[in-house]
Structure 1
Amino acid sequence: MPTIPRKLPNASLAEWNARKPTAHLARSHMERVLKCAPPAWRAAIGERIAPKRAPIVAALQTDAEFLASQPEWADAWDLMQAVADFEDEYGAASMWNLGDWEICEMAEKLAGEADELDDLCIARGESLAARVDSIRMLIRCVGITEDKPIQGEPAIKRAQDAAWWRKRLRVHVSRIVEAGAIGLGLVHKERCGYVSQDGLQRRQAQLKRNAEALGRTLFRNEAGQVYTLRELAELGTANPVIRGGELMTRIRGAEEYADARAHVGLFVTLTLPSRFHPVKLGSGGRPVPNKKYKGATPRDGQLWLRDMWAKTRAALARKGVKMYGLRVAEPHHDATPHWHALIWAEDEAGALAIEEAVRKYWLSDDGDERGAEQNRVNIKRMLKGGAAGYVAKYIAKSVGHLALAEHQDVVNGHQITLDFGDTNPRDAKEPGAGFKSVDAWAATWGIRQFQTIGMPSVTVWRELRRVTRDQLELFQLEGDRATVRAFQACHRHAELRADWRMFMEAMGGHALPRKRWHLCTAHRTPEDGQVNKYGEPVKVGRIVGLRAQHGRMCGRWLVSRRIAWAPVISEQAHASQAVEGETTAAAGQAQGGGTPPARAALPRAWTGFNNCTARITGELARELFPPSPHFKEDWCKPETVAQFRALRAMQATEAWH
């Protein structure tokens, strides 16, 4: 790429004549920049450079006008400097504007270069440190973000893996190109809210690739049932409909828990200083460029919010103030993040302490700028019974309206009307599709949209739903009522839905340290010398169940009902049926645009028991052995008792003889 000079040639007249700025040279640089930039940027680039671009040749009418204008070389120089300024600020984004196939090719080449580089170091007899230095040099020359420190043999193996390069390059490309679009003012409510058009298309292409890959992959379980990975994913929290319902269940349960204890509820909205906003709203609500903006990305804004929240929580913990609730990260129309939080305090004094701490830290950075004290922090007291309604709109914007079809809220006896309107002009043809833009925004910048505060782990909740009922019998006999109650809270019984409030009470309450919750996840112990594919030691095994941390059953496990799955290699017929006609609808399903496909009930397994649960429930033993007092359910049966007594009498007679 030719470099634009930053200093006029002034060594001699000959050098000036050879290297002086010309209209042709300026136009060539301008055309090169437009050709390299994404198509959606070209109009914005012209508008950005136009104020500095004086006409190269003007039709002057009088000698006075000619003498008052600057020479042609000066106009060309001004245009070249404007182009150079643009390249300094957005040149990296133009260079990294790659399609996915280009990213895959680049990943293969970089993996091969890392392999060759390491082979060369080994041939030279260099040490491990020198080999790692060469890999570090390669990664940093490329310029991608390092997900882990470049240390030891695992770093070398990661650099030799095309899949690792592909993942890091996709993240790097999406973020740097999207940052360029935001800086150029292409993301706002009158053009593309939340994310640029290219960013949305990139996310939709990713979801389509994932859905097609899941639809082509078949797995068979122990009972011989064959499913595609897409069908299995739609049965869990990867399905936005299920994820949204679970979120609403947790919010409603937390609110019922708080209302039963007369806790004080706060609805908090937290925003960023104005320097994080690329666009501000001028007179009439029209977006205009923000002069204070210095190039911060939404990721930078999210890190600022996280840092201030960490300081706030630490300050409140030192004062002994306990709180719990949920926070939601949401984008402004210009992609700048802000937070909404439902927070409950134990009493009025705790609520006032939370308000004071939040205002203190949020106004500690540029707190004296105009409007900061009034707008940066907004705290309201929540009405009793209306917590779910406060955040339902924000959940719908992130997971889709179908997720909240059965989760409306009632406050003071009145049904809340939720406004699910979209702010993007591009969604006018597809009402209710704004959640796709929010999903693309969160995926591009790696922003966690929902996070609970001071509540029990949802992983324990999900694992407890996998536990079979017969495992609770011993806990019930030993008087561990908390575990039994938590198990009952997690499951739906006829018309009674799962109850998060009861689960919180059974787990010990709110705002507890991790070791004080009643149940925690149990992990399989890794084998000695077990490593991952990059040679790093595995320190924590997979989750296999739950473990009680308190009470008489402390240390006892509840084993999760997990099925062993194996990939299906030669099921071509089933694969063609699973993929046929689903390519277009795959992305919509991944976004929550429908419900999982219905599947007919399968016949009873040929073995007479369920392979996946027999080892835990004891069904295999009941099939193989006759009734006897060894089984708890047979203790009180008269026929079993009579049979047992006859057997004992016969054994005694044989022993006598």
Structure 2
Amino acid sequence: MSARTTSNPLPFKRRLQHLPTPLADDVLAAFAVAADRLPAAPIDLWQDEVVAGVREKVDTTRLYQPIFDKPAERFTAAKGFEMLAPLSFHVRNKVQNTYQQRVNSGGIAAGSAYLRETIKKLTVVWHKYPFHKISGMKFVKQPEPVEQDDAVDKDEIENRLLAKASPFSAFRLLRHRKSTELKKASAIIADTCMQQVKEIAASADKEVAYFDAYDAAAKICQTWGVIPPYWNAVKRDHIEDAAECAILRMTCAKWWGRQLLKLRDQCCEHLCIVVGLVNQHTPFVSDECFSEWTSQQRTAMQWLESTMIENEAGVILPLIEAAMAGNANPSNRLVELIVRARGLDEMAEESGKIGFMVTLTCPSKFHMKSHKWDLNNAKTAQQYLVNVFAKIRAALSYRNIPFTGCRVTEPHKDSTPHWHMLCMVKPEHEMAVKAIIKKYAYEVDGDEPGAKEHRLLIEAIDKQKGCAVGYIIKYLSKNIMGEHMQGELDLETGKPVNEVAPRATAWANRHRIRQFQFYGTSSVQVWRELRRLKVGPQSPEIEAAKAAACNSDWKAFEYAMKNAQLSLNYEVTPQGNEYGEMTKRVQGISGIAFGEKRLIITRGERWKLRKANDDELEAYRTLKQRRKDLFTVNRAMNAESRLSRKELKDAMPKWSIALLPLPFGSPWTCRNNCTDPVLEEVDSRIIRHLAQVGITDPANIERLLFVGCRVMDADGGEWWVDDGQLRNEPYRYREIRDLPLDKLVSEMQSWGKTTEYSA
């Protein structure tokens, strides 16, 4: 068929269908001879006769490569699945099922096209991570030809053939978290860095040895896709101590193990996203990732329950009790976030600011479902949003526009993150702030289809519908544990919020994404340290901040911070870890007290970890069962009789040493019949029980039991001995905790004049 005989020449692929297969070799040979014989001629490759003329030689190999490409001809479904064999079962099963669906609907050609395209995408993603380099290491079987011999292990033969057939051969090291072979890889890389460092140290000048050795080890880090530690401190500031600490890290197998484990988690999830294992039915993360995260949480809880902490005074506490009393408890974390958001709203309303909600989404190239997807993961998309927000804040700072609020990062069903931001600004700055947000939100691919509809949404807060907290609280809740949202559906997935909330937490954990951030506010760590403060009355400035923190009043805390000027104080330990680095431990808070800078210790006690013995494990199991029984009984009651959340928390059985067997927790009686010092010795059990209320200082115990003085406990209450009985008066702050802040400050100032307490 000649192209000159038709007015509309057929496309190349359709022409290929009309070309007789048996004549293909003859046509190629005839064209090759004609190309060599004729120096120049405009030739139609589909014409029977070659027309003479002047032209340049044609690269026949390149022109005919789509037709006679032998590797493409040899590609079969069996060969494709053989290449995918080292990958996890979830990935292989998903690809095989989708391939079969394509074959059933479109034939072998459609199935092969899908399989070829999927392998291509998987290969691109696989080479974004350094594990394809591992196949050349000693502990991975090399693709050497092996004869079938009974003396050779069959597994070894299979591994060698697999390494030869598949580019994913090293993935078998990643099938399990913290696998032995991955630890071996970490040891080999650390050993390689050590060898490089030793060679540099032996040959280089002592003055530059650290920096040259750092460069050699950093080059290995960059080869493996790991950011070298202290890069700016060494390369920009030329700090020799930083280079030394960095070398100790880069030559440590444990450090390399943590880096490779982080890359392993991201790589496995990235491959699952490519084949479509993250979708509306399995949102945010794959089932494989969610199962691993759930197993991690279960293992961590078991370790917390089987570990005890004990201080120098003999106070024994299960580690899980201490952990659940802080922000590791999702309920406590949610309450703190809501309190902070409510404080921002109250401050904004008092100062005349207005609020609006901003939903910021990534361009289509970050979304897996888009044809423009560039095969990057959620971490890259999050970095894009961070950069956009940094530009927005820099532009506002340049214009001296105050900007407060909070943001929540949550995933789309395809794992791509998007932000919900609560913004508080003055009315005169509203238009400028919105214009800046729009400018940077549409800076990248702002004119692509769908950008105006989905990239950015700005919604004013309607006071008729509710306050700002009502707008942000649902995003806070459904990204922690979905508390207080029973029966609500997630708009992204259509599933109940309490079902998808754990998957959102697993998503943030796997991609190491910060979910919540407040900006333009005081330090929340100072707030937490004030709530830990157990000593007696402080100065009016510090006491006002403490009262606000203990009463969960963030607005009052912000105002009190302006007067107290509180900041964290750290206990610094030079060379405090195995890498020779300086370590910092929060010791307390420092601030203004009675016009002077003071230091308040909030973490004076030293605790040590130890494994729980059988008696302690049994005591905690009994306590858990009592708590479970209380939950069961309360759930079985009708709605009118059921305990409220606060009442249930107050009624919950607490841990105490009395739960332990007789040698630990037997009751004691004081042998003192008057306030005179008649005791000649103090039983160790008495010391333990006094420690439970915070009386641990030997001098205070002696004053209490021998001298007859009153002693203050950790909560500010007073203890004394009267008629052989231990008496207690609670801290009087509890009696005035409902006073307004200004009255509380004036009351505390009067205390300073009438009492003997000192700061």
Normalized against structure 2, the TM-score is what? 0.62
Shift of 1:580: 10
Task: Please report how far the alpha carbon of residue 565 of structure 1 lies from its aligned counterpart in structure 2 after TM superposition.
Answer: 0.8
| Cα distance change, pair 144–244 in 1 and its aligned pair in 2 (3 A) | same
Shift of residue 305, structure 1, vs aligned partner: 0.8
Counterpart CA distance in 2 for 1:581 and 1:99 is 38
- CA spacing shift, 1:187–1:119, aligned 2, 3 Å: closer
Deviating more after overlay: 392-401 vs 602-611? 602-611
2:591 is aligned with 1:536: no
Report the Cα offset of residue 534 of structure 1.
Answer: 0.8
Amino acid at match of 1:499: D
Q: CA deviation at 1:503?
A: 0.9
Q: Could you give the per-residue CA deviations for residues 367-387 of structure 1, whole angstroms, max 9, x where no partner exists?
A: 112232343221122133522
What displacement does 1:619 show?
4.6
Tell me, what secondary structure is at the counterpart of 1:465? helix
1:162 to partner: Cα distance: 4.0
CA distance in 1, matches of 2:363, 2:328: 34
**Larger Cα Rg: Structure 1 or Structure 2?**
2
Indicate which of 116, 124, 139 corresponds to 1:89.
Answer: 124
| Residues in 2 aligned to 1:458 and 1:203: alpha-carbon distance in whole angstroms | 28
Q: Residue in 2 aligned with 1:361? A: 440
2:473 matched residue in structure 1: 392
Distance (whole Å) between structure 1 residues aligned to residue 380 and residue 188 of structure 2: 33
Match of 2:544 among 474, 478, 485: 485
1:559 counterpart residue number: 601
**Is 1:100 equivalent to 2:205 in the alignment?**
no
CA contact (8 A) 2:408 2:516 kept: yes
1:21-55 Cα distance to aligned partner (Å, 9 max, x none)? 59877455313223122222235435777899999
**Alignment check: 8 A CA contact 2:366 2:373 kept:** yes
Shift of 1:183: 2.5
* Residue in structure 2 matched with residue 297 of structure 1 by the alignment: 377
The aligned residue for residue 654 of structure 1 is none
CA distance in 2, matches of 1:486, 1:53: 69
| Partner in structure 1 of residue 507 of structure 2 | 441
Give the structure 2 partner of residue 419 of structure 1. 488
Aligned 8 A contact 2:406 2:518 in 1: yes
Percent identity among equivalent residues? 25
Structure 1: gaps of 5 or more residues: 1-9, 12-18, 59-69, 280-289, 406-416, 493-497, 509-515, 587-593, 635-657
Q: Name the CA distance, whole Å, in 1 between partners of 2:363 and 2:75.
A: 42
Distance 1:317 1:21, change over 3 A: closer
Corresponding residue number in structure 1 for 2:262:
171
How much has 1:133 moved relative to structure 2?
A: 5.3
Residue identity opposite 1:378 in structure 2 = L
1:216–1:579 CA contact under 8 A, matched in 2: no
Deviation at 1:602, TM superposition (A): 4.2
5+ residue gaps, structure 2: 1-59, 62-68, 130-167, 235-241, 629-647, 659-667, 669-684, 711-715, 719-759
Query: Is 1:111 aligned to 2:180, yes or no?
Result: no
CA displacement at 1:355 relative to structure 2 = 0.9
**1:122-169 C-alpha deviation (Å, 9 max, x unpaired):** 489355556545544554554455565497343443344443233222
Seen in structure 2, the aligned counterparts of structure 1 residues 611 and 52 have a Cα distance that, compared at 3 Å, is closer
Q: Helix, strand or coil for the counterpart of 1:401?
A: coil
CA deviation map 1:303-323 (0-9, x unaligned): 111111111111111211112
Q: d(CA) in 2 for partners of 1:520 and 1:394?
A: 30
- Determine the structure 1 residue equivalent to 2:277: 186
Measured in 1, the distance between the counterparts of 2:697 and 2:403 equals 39
Which residue does the alignment assign to 2:654? 599
Q: CA deviation at 1:80?
A: 9.8
Aligned amino acid, residue 504 of structure 1: E
Find 1:340's aligned residue among 420, 424, 439. Answer: 420
Which is bigger in relative contact order (C-alpha 8 A, separation at least 6)? 1
2:356–2:461 contact (8 Å) kept in structure 1: yes
Q: Describe the superposition over 1:58-93 as per-residue Cα deviations: whole angstroms up to 9, x where unpaired.
A: 9xxxxxxxxxxx9xxxx9998997576345324447
| Equivalent in the alignment of 2:202 | 125
1:518 to 565, 578, 581: 565
Distance 1:111 1:580 in 2: 44
How many Å apart are 1:237 and its aligned residue?
A: 0.3
C-alpha displacement of 1:423? 5.5
1:461 aligned partner: 527
Change (3 A) 1:374 1:569: closer
Tell me by how many angstroms 1:195 deviates.
1.0
Residue 275 of structure 1: aligned partner: 365
* 1:186 to partner: Cα distance: 2.6
- CA RMSD in angstroms, aligned pairs only: 4.3
What is the alpha-carbon distance in structure 2 between the residues aligned to residue 29 and residue 517 of structure 1? 71
Change (3 A) 1:331 1:109: closer
* Secondary structure at the counterpart of residue 170 of structure 1: helix
Q: How much has 1:172 moved relative to structure 2?
A: 0.6
Measured against aligned partners, the alpha-carbon deviations of 1:286-340 in whole angstroms (never above 9, x if no partner) come to xxxx111111211111111111111111111121111211110011111111111
Distance 1:315 1:125 in 2: 51
User: Measured at CA, do residues 269 and 109 of structure 1 come closer, stay the same or move farther in structure 2, by a change above 3 Å?
Assistant: closer
Distance 1:228 1:157, change over 3 A: farther
Instruction: State the 1:263 CA deviation.
Output: 1.6
CA contact (8 A) 2:193 2:220 kept: no
> Any conservation in 1 of the 2:315–2:691 contact (CA below 8 Å)?
no
Amino acid aligned to 2:481? G
Kept after mapping to 2: 8 A contact 1:104/1:166: no
Relative to structure 1, the CA distance from residue 278 to residue 87 in structure 2 (aligned partners, 3 Å threshold; closer, same or farther) is closer
Alignment counterpart, residue 80 of structure 2, candidates 22, 30, 40? 30
Amino acid at match of 2:373: Y
- Summarize the Cα distance change of 1:268–1:534 in structure 2 as closer, same or farther, 3 Å threshold: same
Deviation of 1:610 (Å): 3.5
1:581 shift after superposition: 12
Aligned residue pair count? 540
Give, in whole Å, the separation in 2 of the partners of 1:82 and 1:251: 47
The equivalent of 2:334 in structure 1 is: 244
Deviation digits for residues 393-423 of structure 1 (CA, Å, limit 9, x no counterpart) = 2122221133x48xxxxxxxxxxx9835485
Scaled by the length of structure 1, what TM-score is found? 0.71
